Amino acid sequence: MTHVDRSIEVILAGQHDSGAYVACPTFPTYRYAWLRDGAWCAYALGLYDKWDSAGRFHRFAARCVLDHAELFGASRVVEPPTRYTLDGRIEDPGDEPWPNFQLDGYGTWLWALAEHARTGHPPTGTELDAARLVARYLRENGAASCYDCWEEYGDRRHTATLGSVIAGLTGAAELLSDEDSAIAAAGLRELLGEHVRDGSFVKHDATDGVDASLLWLSTPLRVVPADEPVMVRTAQRIADELTGPTGGVFRYRGDTYYGGGEWVLSTAWLGWYHAETGDMETARARLRWVEEAFTEADELPEQTVDYPQDTEMVVPWVAKWGPVATPLLWSHAMHLVLAAAIPD
Ligand code: BGC
C-alpha cells in the first residue's frame, strides 16, 4: 500500500458514524472532533474524490452548530467551542481547564464548505443555515482575541486565525450571496497590516516571531498571494528559523509541548507553499521528510521528538498524556495535500 493510500485509509477509519473525524483514535485527550482538524481532513479527502466522507463531515459540523445555535448570537457573551464529542455534544475533558475558544476552526470550516461547493458539491439547506449563523458570529467577533490554532495565547489576535476568518467570511459571502460577509472580510483584511514586522507576517499582534501556521494565508486560504513580497519573506523566515535538525519544521520557536519537536503539519505546509511557488525540489524534500515520519505501524504522529527544542519537556508530557498522538488524522490530511500538490 502506498503512503497516500494509507493516509486515506487512516482518515476514513477515524470517521465516526456521525460524520465526525476523531482527532486521534488512540490518544485519550484527543478523542474529540475539532472543527479545525476535521475541515482539513474533509478538504484533503476531496482532493482524492472521497466526497462522500467530506460531505458527511460537513453535515456533522452543521448539526453541531445548529444544535448549539444559542452560542452563535451576534455578541460574544458566550463562546462557541472549538471541539465537540463525536456525537456532537460539548464536553470538557478531565478536570483541568482547557482553552476552547478558537475562531480559526469556524473560519476554516466555512472555507472548506465553500471549497466543497466550488468543486461541484452544493451545500444542503442545513449546511447553509449553519453557515449563516457562523458567518454572523464571525462578522461580529472575527477580530476578537482568542486562543490560536495551538490552543495557546488566548489574549492575543493571531494572524493565522485572522486569515481563517477572512477566508471563511469570503466563502460564506459566496455560499450565501451575502454582501455583509464580503464587507466584513474586507474590513478584517485591513487589520492584517498590523501583523507585519520588518516585511514579514508575525505569529500574533504582540510578537516579532513567526509561526508555521502563517503559511495558511496563501496556501490554501488565498488571503495573500503566494508571490507577494510579505508572503515570500514570511515563508523564508519560516524555512530559515523553524527548520529543525532533520529537515522537519517546528511550529514556532520556544514551543515546549512534548519538547517542541518537528511537526508533520508544519513541514507539509511549508512543502505545500514551495510546490505552490514552483520550487518542486524543496517541496519533494519536505514530502520525503513527512513520509519518513510514518511509524512502523504505518501511521503519522503529531510530531517527532528525536530533536526537541526543549529536551526537559518531553518526559513530563508523556507522563501526563501518554506518548505523542499517533495517528493524528490531520497529519495524514496534510500529507495527502502535499502529495497532491507535487506532480509525479
Ligand atoms: C493542537 C490543535 C489540534 C488538537 C487536536 C492540539 O494539541 O494544538 O491544533 O486541533 O490538538 O489535534
CATH number at residue 304: 1.50.10.10
Q: Is the CB of residue 120 less than 8 Å from the CB of residue 181?
A: no
Distance 157 CA to ligand 1 centre (A): 18
Distance 280 CA to ligand 1 centre (A): 29
Distance 183 CA to ligand 1 centre (A): 31
Pick from 11, 21, 27, 36 the residue to mutate for probing ligand 1's pocket: most ligand atoms within 8 Å of its CB: 36
- Which residues make Cβ contacts (< 8 Å) with residue 193, sequence separation at least 6? none
| C-alpha cell of residue 118 | 466550488
Strand partners, 138: none
Distance 266 CA to ligand 1 centre (A): 13
Residue 97 pLDDT more than 90? no
Pick from 151, 203, 269 the residue to mutate for probing ligand 1's pocket: most ligand atoms within 8 Å of its CB: 151
Distance, in Å, from the CA atom of 154 to the CA atom of 289, rounded to the nearest integer, reads 32
The confidence band for 92, taking pLDDT boundaries of 50, 70 and 90, is confident
Pick from 257, 302, 324, 332 the residue to mutate for probing ligand 1's pocket: most ligand atoms within 8 Å of its CB: 302
Q: Is the CB of residue 18 less than 8 Å from the CB of residue 88?
A: yes
**CA torsion sign, 341 to 8 to 123 to 172?**
negative
State what percent of residues in the chain have pLDDT above 70.
Answer: 98
For the chain, where are the alpha helices, taking DSSP H only? 3-13, 35-46, 51-67, 104-118, 125-141, 159-176, 179-191, 229-242, 264-276, 280-292, 314-321, 329-341
Distance, in Å, from the CA atom of 307 to the CA atom of 304, rounded to the nearest integer, reads 8
Residues with CB under 6 A from ligand 1: 23, 30, 34, 36-37, 149-151, 328
196 membership: H or E segment, kind and range: strand 196-197
Closest C-alpha residue for ligand 1 atom 8: 150
Predicted local distance difference test score (pLDDT) of residue 98: 81
Q: What is the number of alpha carbons within 13 Å of residue 36 lying toward its C-beta?
A: 24
Domain limits for position 111: 3-341
Q: Is the CB of residue 178 less than 8 Å from the CB of residue 139?
A: no
Predicted local distance difference test score (pLDDT) of residue 344: 83
Residue that has been written with the C-alpha cell 519544521 in this structure: 249
Counting the structural domains of the chain, the total is 1
**Closest listed residue to residue 337, CA positions, set 2, 4, 1:** 4
Ligand 1 atom closest to Cα of residue 24: 12
Predicted local distance difference test score (pLDDT) of residue 112: 98
Predicted local distance difference test score (pLDDT) of residue 94: 66
**Closest listed residue to residue 210, CA positions, set 170, 175, 182, 250:** 250
Distance, in Å, from the CA atom of 267 to the CA atom of 189, rounded to the nearest integer, reads 26
Tell me the CA distances in angstroms from 304 to 9, 137, 140, 251, 331, one per residue in order: 22, 37, 39, 12, 12
With vertex at residue 248, the alpha carbon angle to CA 246 and CA 254, rounded to the nearest 5 degrees, is: 100
Of the chain, the end-to-end C-alpha distance in Å amounts to 17
Q: Which pTM value belongs to this model? A: 0.97
Distance 168 CA to ligand 1 centre (A): 20
pLDDT, one tens digit per residue, over 57-66 is 999 999 999 9
What number of helices (H) and strands (E) belong to the chain?
12, 6
pLDDT, one tens digit per residue, over 205-246 is 999 999 999 999 999 999 999 999 999 999 999 999 999 999
Predicted local distance difference test score (pLDDT) of residue 124: 97
Closest C-alpha residue for ligand 1 atom 12: 23
Counting other chains too, the contacts that 180-186 makes at CB distance below 8 Å and 24 or more residues apart are 180/139, 181/135, 181/138, 181/139, 184/138, 184/139, 184/142
SS3 content of the chain, % helix, strand, coil (to 5): 55, 5, 40
Closest C-alpha residue for ligand 1 atom 5: 23
**Closest listed residue to residue 110, CA positions, set 174, 199, 63:** 174
Distance 204 CA to ligand 1 centre (A): 18
The size of the chain, in residues, is 344
Ligand 1 atom closest to Cα of residue 82: 10
Ligand 1 atom closest to Cα of residue 325: 12
The confidence band for 100, taking pLDDT boundaries of 50, 70 and 90, is confident
| C-alpha cell of residue 27 | 490518544
Give the residue numbers annotated as catalytic, written as ranges. Answer: 148, 151, 302
Ligand 1 atom closest to Cα of residue 257: 7
